[in-house]
A and B are shown apart, each in its own frame.
Chain A
Amino acid sequence: MAEKPKVIEKPDVLERPDILKPQAPAPLVAFPIEVVVPEGRQQTPAVGQRASRADGRLHGLGQTKYIDDMYFPNMLFAKIKRAGIASARIKNIDTKEAEAMPGVVAVITGRDIPCNSFGPSLKDQPVLADTRVFHAGDGVAAVAAVSEQIATEALEKIKVDYEVLTPVLDPLESLKLETPGVHAPSANIYGHKVIKKGDVEKAFAESDHVFEGTFRTQMVEHVPLEPYACIAQWDANGRVTIYSTLGRITLGRADVARTLGIPMSRIRIVATVVGGNFGGKNEIRAEPAMALLSKKTGRPVKCVFTRSEEFTSSTTRHPLIMDYKTGVTKQGKILGRKIRLVLDGGAYCSWSETTLGKACILSAGPYNIENLYAEAFVVYTNKTMTGAMRGFGAPQVCFAYESHMDDIAKALGIDPLEIRLLNAFDEGSLSPTSQKLHSVVVKESLLRAAKRFGWNGIGDGVGNGNGA
């Protein structure tokens, strides 16, 4: 039986453009809000449900309070003067003119910080630079004023006398022993790790082919929607409450206690809803300086980084220089791999030790490699400090080991999927540190992705890399 053709009703053209009609103003949000809770949140068992987020409604209605939305009576606004020079000795800081400005309530420098150093492993980072500038984003003074504008203007009135020094910018240069120390007398190499397994040279000798490659990655920022922000409020009992964008309040409180020299019981840190972290908010920034400005003025003090400060004065991703050498059989089985990683550690250690460790352990890839030598160095340079960022060195080494893998596959004429399946970890495989791995599904992920994508081998006319 022939199907009846569908009658498509012509839309009423005159009635359609609703947008042209005058719109009633959007109703104000009524309290209490009638909560229409989505199904997933109300169902049991809870695990496995596509439950919506409790904070989603508040985000959607614009009711989430970020630090920039928070206000306390008598609150002051702080700005930090940045050095703008990568390496320098501070000879003098003159804050008199700034302090005399109407609307400026207090100015502090690094000399006002009771213990002017912090860091998750090495305590090499000053809250405000006092005698030395190690990168252009270093803060040298902080101003609290009745408005953000006055605080910004006051920064111009602070006169800093610098003795400019030659910066060390290239990590490979920094690695050399003759290069002057960024943090002299400390050495430029501030972290080193080795993972050693089997005999890599013997493996190369037994290999049918040995491949080499050098790969580099760049410095990038986390670029969260919400830049770093905090409000400090010192009370008459000598107790300070800090609202902060911190992702790690337990560590943050310890750092604030250390830098201010006060007991932890006198510090309350409240981490507000954070508008993106990605690893960039895992240690304190201006909290101690804001606490001292609040103590000095007896008023709450707020500091919100500009986008530019978020780039230059917060942590970033480590650039890596990665040398790979891999010995394989004709069939593509990896017999040995030698790796050298150099991490540009920037001006301060921050989370470099964790990044160094993860990068080094992960650098061989998810592959069974019996003979491995991976060595990693992290060095100081006079650049923005590098620290935790989503992946802790893994995206960098993955770029290297997977590019290298495709080069090997191409040279041997093996499909990229095949060579990976041939070498990938299985349940119970030993990792580069000889840890017995469990719930290993790397092969499953390869096969599932290939199936979903429609991967059907190389040289099927889709691109195929000949560029012709």
Chain B
Amino acid sequence: MKRRGRGMACMWYPIGFTVAANPSAAVVKVNEDGTATLLTGTVETGQGSLTILAQITAQELGIATDDVHVVSADTDATPMDTGAIASRTTYVTGNAARMAAEKAKLTLFEVAAPLLGVKPTQLEAQDHKIFVKGFPQRNMHIGDVANHARVVSGQPPIGSASFNPETLALDPETGQGKPFGTYVYATQIAEVDVDDETGEVEVIRVVASHDCGTAINPMLVEGQVEGGVAMGVGFALEEEMLFDAQGRHINPNLTNYIMPTSLDTPDIEVDIVDSYDPTGPFGAKGVGEPTLVPTAAAIANAIYDAVGVRITSLPATAEKVCKALQAKREQQPKQIGTGAALDGAASINTAVQ
């Protein structure tokens, strides 16, 4: 018989990594027509980070995402970057891109200021225009300013910058210090069906509330969360590299190493928690890795809620759940009348009924 259960798990996760510095650098060039090029050493690994970086650059320059072309991942052409790792691209490389764009923008302001008859500090860039703060009608198209910068002023608008999260080394004895610039938080709640005869677990639904600071692109946040949850389902229920007694991997293929397919993926409801981090680009933090962090825990708690067995080792395969159910049935008569053994700590998994 199928039994339904629900379980929750929350988490925290740092942006960037500890041990060593993890800087990123970026270069922004504004073209004569007001479009721009961003040079970055990070790599697009399918997550959409180059689109995020284009959005950050565009936002700083007051132009649209489509106006920014991103050149990435060529050691001959692009500045150094710690790379597409540790959920750090939006936060660290994003900060570098924003700062580089800001420098290019300040050149544009210097060029536009005398043309608009104000000081550079009185200017703002928005909606493809550079205009006087408070007087949006006094404006010039960013392309006209950029063209003037190159052709008349001889100051091509180029900016470069680098960013490294502020950290403090950990004390080797006590581990006290500031290892990361910022953290994100999330909760996932899973609903599962467990077949109490076969032990098979089906994940029906996962609600995922994730904090990523400002969502630079909500669609890409949703994509990350959906992918992370699917990966988490595999980690929770199916995937495992198995070795024989001699240490040889015995399932190095997708026939015996079972992964979730789209049919095993639950309904995923993504909820973006409002938050703003003043240290991130436009308040953004990151979202890549955390999306899979609470999934397995939420599923394991849902299995417990459904059939009352605590899975203490992953993956919760049907065999494992089935065995745990059998063990529970065998133990049950002995449990009658014992009540809650609160201090028999190790046995609380089965003792508490």
Q: Are B44 and A274 in contact (CB under 8 A)?
A: yes
Is A90 in the interface zone, CB < 8 Å from B? no
Is A157 in the interface zone, CB < 8 Å from B? no
Candidate in A37, A49, A316, A466 with the most chain B CB atoms within 10 angstroms: A49
- Of B132-140, B146-154, B284-292, the stretch lying at the interface with chain A is B284-292
A461 to nearest B CB, angstroms? 10
Q: How large is the interface on A (under 10, 10 to 19, 20 to 34, 35 or more residues)?
A: 35 or more
Task: Find chain A residues with CB under 8 A from B315 CB.
Answer: 218
Q: Are B6 and A221 in contact (CB under 8 A)?
A: no
Complex interface bits, A41-80 against B, C-beta within 8 A gives 1, otherwise 0: 1111111111111110000000000000000000000000
Q: Given A47-B56, A402-B298, A445-B273, A253–B14 Cβ distance below 8 Å?
A: no
Is A398 in the interface zone, CB < 8 Å from B? yes
Q: Are A210 and B173 in contact (CB under 8 A)?
A: no
Q: Are B6 and A46 in contact (CB under 8 A)?
A: no
B101 to nearest A CB, angstroms? 11
Considering only residues 1-55 of chain B, those with a C-beta below 8 Å from chain A are 3-14, 17-19, 41, 43-46, 48, 50-51, 54-55
15 contacts between A and B (CB under 8 A): A50-B219, A196-B175, A196-B176, A215-B312, A218-B315, A220-B240, A221-B239, A247-B45, A248-B85, A251-B82, A390-B289, A439-B182, A444-B209, A450-B189, A463-B305
Partner of B75, one of A247, A249, A390: A249
Q: Are B211 and A416 in contact (CB under 8 A)?
A: no
Is A197 in the interface zone, CB < 8 Å from B? yes
Is A103 in the interface zone, CB < 8 Å from B? no
Complex interface bits, B281-324 against A, C-beta within 8 A gives 1, otherwise 0: 01001001110111111101110111111111111000000000
Q: Other than the known A49-B55, A86-B247, A398-B11, what 14 A-B pairs have Cβ atoms closer than 8 Å?
A: A42-B66, A50-B219, A53-B220, A86-B248, A247-B43, A249-B81, A267-B75, A384-B249, A395-B232, A395-B235, A406-B7, A411-B352, A435-B179, A463-B302
Is B231 in the interface zone, CB < 8 Å from A? yes
Task: Find chain B residues with CB under 8 A from A411 CB.
Answer: 340, 342, 348, 352
Complex interface bits, A419-453 against B, C-beta within 8 A gives 1, otherwise 0: 01000110000011111011111101110111011
- Of A92-100, A111-119, A146-154, A306-314, the stretch lying at the interface with chain B is A306-314
Alpha-carbon distance between A312 and B250 when the two chains are bound, in angstroms: 10
Alpha-carbon distance between A39 and B178 when the two chains are bound, in angstroms: 42
Q: Are B11 and A366 in contact (CB under 8 A)?
A: yes
* Residues in chain B within 8 A of chain A (CB atoms): 3-14, 17-19, 41, 43-46, 48, 50-51, 54-56, 58-59, 62-66, 69-70, 72-76, 80-86, 126-128, 170, 173-180, 182-183, 185-189, 191, 196, 205, 207-211, 213-220, 228, 231-232, 234-235, 239-241, 243, 245-249, 251-254, 257, 259, 269, 271, 273-279, 282, 285, 288-290, 292-298, 300-302, 304-315, 325, 328, 340, 342-343, 345-346, 348-349, 352-353
Task: Find chain A residues with CB under 8 A from B177 CB.
Answer: 433-435
Is A190 in the interface zone, CB < 8 Å from B? no
Candidate in B208, B248, B278 with the most chain A CB atoms within 10 angstroms: B248
Alpha-carbon distance between A253 and B86 when the two chains are bound, in angstroms: 19
Candidate in B51, B128, B271, B275 with the most chain A CB atoms within 10 angstroms: B51
Is A362 in the interface zone, CB < 8 Å from B? yes
Q: Given A395-B296, A439-B276, A51–B241 Cβ distance below 8 Å?
A: no
Partner of A213, one of B248, B257, B340, B346: B346
Task: Find chain A residues with CB under 8 A from B241 CB.
Answer: 218-221, 311, 316, 384
Considering only residues 137-182 of chain A, those with a C-beta below 8 Å from chain B are 137, 167, 169
Q: Are B6 and A54 in contact (CB under 8 A)?
A: no
Q: Are A433 and B170 in contact (CB under 8 A)?
A: yes
Q: Are A248 and B14 in contact (CB under 8 A)?
A: no
Q: Are B231 and A390 in contact (CB under 8 A)?
A: yes
Task: Find chain B residues with CB under 8 A from A270 CB.
Answer: 73-76
Q: Are A442 and B10 in contact (CB under 8 A)?
A: yes
Candidate in A86, A275, A365, A439 with the most chain B CB atoms within 10 angstroms: A439
B132 to nearest A CB, angstroms? 18
Q: Are A217 and B313 in contact (CB under 8 A)?
A: yes
Complex interface bits, A249-279 against B, C-beta within 8 A gives 1, otherwise 0: 1110100000000001001111111111111
B279 to nearest A CB, angstroms? 8
Task: Find chain A residues with CB under 8 A from B207 CB.
Answer: 449, 452-453
Alpha-carbon distance between A249 and B311 when the two chains are bound, in angstroms: 40
B200 to nearest A CB, angstroms? 15
Task: Find chain B residues with CB under 8 A from A394 CB.
Answer: 11, 13, 289-290, 293
Alpha-carbon distance between A264 and B19 when the two chains are bound, in angstroms: 24
Q: Are B84 and A247 in contact (CB under 8 A)?
A: yes
- Cβ-closest chain B residue relative to A381: B247
Q: Are A410 and B352 in contact (CB under 8 A)?
A: yes
Q: Are B301 and A281 in contact (CB under 8 A)?
A: no
Task: Find chain A residues with CB under 8 A from B217 CB.
Answer: 48-51
Task: Find chain B residues with CB under 8 A from A431 CB.
Answer: 183
Candidate in A40, A217, A390 with the most chain B CB atoms within 10 angstroms: A390
Q: Are B180 and A435 in contact (CB under 8 A)?
A: yes
- Cβ-closest chain A residue relative to B352: A411
Q: Are A366 and B12 in contact (CB under 8 A)?
A: yes
Q: Given A403-B301, A434-B176, A442-B187, A250–B81 Cβ distance below 8 Å?
A: yes
- Cβ-closest chain A residue relative to B299: A399
Q: Are A467 and B85 in contact (CB under 8 A)?
A: no
Task: Find chain B residues with CB under 8 A from A353 CB.
Answer: 19
- Cβ-closest chain A residue relative to B55: A46
Is A212 in the interface zone, CB < 8 Å from B? yes
Q: Are A271 and B353 in contact (CB under 8 A)?
A: no
Q: Are A49 and B65 in contact (CB under 8 A)?
A: yes
Partner of B289, one of A195, A249, A391: A391
Q: Are A441 and B211 in contact (CB under 8 A)?
A: yes
Partner of B308, one of A196, A276, A467: A467
Candidate in A86, A271, A438 with the most chain B CB atoms within 10 angstroms: A271
Q: Are A45 and B185 in contact (CB under 8 A)?
A: no
Partner of A51, one of B55, B312, B348: B55
